[in-house]
Amino acid sequence: MDPRVSVITGGASGIGLATARLLRSQGPVIVADLDDSALSRAAEEGLEPFLMDVRKQEAWASLSDYISKTYGRLDGVVHSAGTAPIARLVDTTDEQFDLAYETNVRSILVGTRELWDLLTTSKGSVVNVASVAALVGQDRSAAYVASKGAVLALTRALAIELAPYGVRVNCVCPGTTMTPMLERHFESLPSGGEVREHLRRRHPLGRLLTPEDIAPTITHLLSPSASGATTGTNVVVDAGLTASFDYGNVFSGGVHDVS
Ligand SMILES: NC(=O)c1ccc[n+]([C@@H]2O[C@H](COP(=O)([O-])OP(=O)(O)OC[C@H]3O[C@@H](n4cnc5c(N)ncnc54)[C@H](O)[C@@H]3O)[C@@H](O)[C@H]2O)c1
């Protein structure tokens, strides 16, 4: 079988990096990111760095050009680059909203458009990384929640439009995942350790997720042999977080606890 060529935005860190590591054995993996030093570390692992800002159309055009000339095919695209502004609504600026929308949503629309020829010729597969915030509300995160809800809706629209060409588009919604993004958030809070512990207990499986918990679901959705009939759908990987109301175990009398 020919090697499979993949692109992962945000591939130099967290969920994107864990996915890139899994895909490496199948063929070239281009990690597209704006963090230069993280890209250098990824290159040391045999991943192919591509410095770009996913908000820029010209960057997507360059990436498309590079892949066409170097490989002439594109089998998988993972949109994992993201930003998560956390602010009360009254403190949320227009700039924060635009940054979240351009990074988390518009990049997927522009990227899929610029990679259209490669994707349709190769009958490739696209996976968009949304969030449980696409499914339920989240405090002090209006811009983020709105952007991730849009990722879910955009996934369905792209899946329908690309289906006649044999291209599948799916979405993964991770729960609270211990990546550099989340570590930075906890470190920014006065009582980050307590918040982390509270969140852990809130997950029915009694633990937070790791990037390695999310990556296999992404590679499953990329694989035509594993999920060739799956498109326009959404897989939640959240340790049970969104499966229940926030009753904890009070409703049933509190007979067991996960500690
Ligand atoms: N960590 C979580 O709890 C969690 C939960 C649900 C969803 N997500 C989503 O998962 C995705 C990956 O997040 P992560 O937790 O792995 O974070 P991360 O910070 O570890 O990785 C994100 C990567 O995206 C890159 N990036 C950001 N803006 C970019 C831009 N404009 N152009 C190119 N690259 C850019 C960063 O440099 C970084 O390498 C994001 O879309 C995030 O919203 C994360």
Q: Residue ranges of the chain with pLDDT lower than 50?
A: none
Of 101, 144, 165, 247, the catalytic one is 144
Q: How far is the CA of 23 from the centre of ligand 1 (A)?
A: 18
- Contacts of residue 221, defined as CB under 8 A and 6 or more positions apart, other chains included, come to 125, 127, 168, 170, 172, 227, 230, 235
Protein residues whose CB sits closer than 6 Å to any atom of ligand 1: 9-10, 12-16, 33-35, 38, 53-55, 80-84, 103-104, 129, 131, 174, 176-177, 179-182
Q: How far is the CA of 26 from the centre of ligand 1 (A)?
A: 23
Nearest one of 192, 201, 120, 216 to 163, comparing CA atoms? 120
Q: What is each CA distance from 119 to 86, 108, 153, 188, in whole angstroms?
A: 34, 13, 20, 40
Cα separation, 165 vs 170, whole angstroms? 15
CA 76 to chain centroid? 13
**Domains of the chain, earliest start first:** 6-174+213-236 (3.40.50.720), 180-208 (no CATH)
Q: What is the pLDDT of residue 150?
A: 98
Q: What is the pLDDT of residue 74?
A: 98
pTM: 0.96
Q: Which residues pair with 78 in a beta bridge?
A: 8, 127
- In sign, the C-alpha dihedral spanning 139, 141, 145, 148 is negative
**Helices marked H in the chain — which ranges?**
14-23, 36-44, 57-70, 94-101, 107-114, 116-122, 142-162, 180-188, 192-202, 211-222, 224-227
CB atoms within 10 A of CB 180: 14
Q: What is the pLDDT of residue 213?
A: 98
| Digit-coded pLDDT (tens) for 33-53 | 999 999 999 999 999 999 999
Q: What is the pLDDT of residue 247?
A: 66
Ligand 1 site-directed mutation target among 7, 9, 13, 98, most atoms within 8 Å of CB: 13
Contact, 126 vs 166, CB < 8 A? no
Phi, psi of 50 (to 5 degrees): -140, 110
Contact, 9 vs 111, CB < 8 A? yes
Q: What is the pLDDT of residue 142?
A: 97
Active site residue 71: no
Q: How far is the CA of 62 from the centre of ligand 1 (A)?
A: 21
Structure tokens at 225: 């042999």
Q: What is the pLDDT of residue 245?
A: 78
Structure tokens at 25: 């054995």
DSSP annotation string for 116-171: HHHHHHHT-EEEEE--GGGTS--TT-HHHHHHHHHHHHHHHHHHHHHGGGT-EEEE
| Residue entry with tokens 């997927």 | 108
Q: What is the pLDDT of residue 251?
A: 66
Task: Print burial letters for 42-68: b (CB count within 10 Å at least 16), e (below 16).
Answer: beeeebbbbebbbbeeebbeebbeebe
Cα separation, 236 vs 250, whole angstroms? 25
Contact, 8 vs 81, CB < 8 A? no
- The atom of ligand 1 lying closest to the CA of 81 is 24
Q: How far is the CA of 181 from the centre of ligand 1 (A)?
A: 7
Ligand 1 site-directed mutation target among 58, 132, 179, most atoms within 8 Å of CB: 179
